[in-house]
Structure 1
Amino acid sequence: MAKLATKASVTSRLTTKAQTTIPQIVRNALHLDPGDTLRYVITDTSVILEKVQGTHDISENPFAFFHEWASEDDEKAFANF
């Protein structure tokens, strides 16, 4: 697997509620604005943070990104939501 070139390295701290502030340098690099949707791409050795492009309104389907809730039974149970 090719190693990614690193332009910068920053850290942030996780709160007791599993929240963190995305550092300004990262927000600037991804051109993030309030309300933007983020994608976490999980690999064997890292997690990649990406800005989702286009009009992906999570309120249309709040379960869309939770693959563990994607069974046929879940689809039936939440069909009216």
Structure 2
Amino acid sequence: MGHIVKITTKGQTTIPQDVRAALHVSPGDYVSWEMAEDGSARVRRVQPLDIDYLRAIEGTLSEWAGENDEAAYRDL
């Protein structure tokens, strides 16, 4: 059975302890809310983006940024 929790005026709520345990989340972790067409929501644990790593590899991807590549992948 699900949990019923109250939403504060700031739009916040407490994630029940057993849900936090099942998601393996603790203070400071990130979660993602995904909405389904039927109005239901799914929440899952996500890892934060490593911006330094992404910036480091950005320069190595220039060979994929050409006009021919744009044309080839435009309709995907």
**Superposed CA RMSD:** 1.8
TM-score (structure 2 length as normaliser): 0.57
TM-score (structure 1 length as normaliser): 0.54
Identity of aligned pairs, percent? 38
Over alpha carbons, which structure has the higher Rg?
2
What secondary structure, in the 3-state scheme, does the structure 2 residue paired with 1:15 have? coil
Structure 1 position 10, deviation (Å): 1.0
- Distance in 2 between residues matched to 1:57 and 1:47, nearest whole Å: 23
Uncovered stretches (5+) of structure 1, i.e. residues with no partner: 1-7, 61-81
- Distance in 1 between residues matched to 2:42 and 2:16, nearest whole Å: 15
Q: Are residue 23 (structure 1) and residue 23 (structure 2) matched? A: no
Uncovered stretches (5+) of structure 2, i.e. residues with no partner: 52-76
- Distance in 1 between residues matched to 2:16 and 2:6, nearest whole Å: 10
By relative contact order (CA 8 Å, sep 6+), the higher-ranking structure is 2
- Residue 41 of structure 2 corresponds to 47
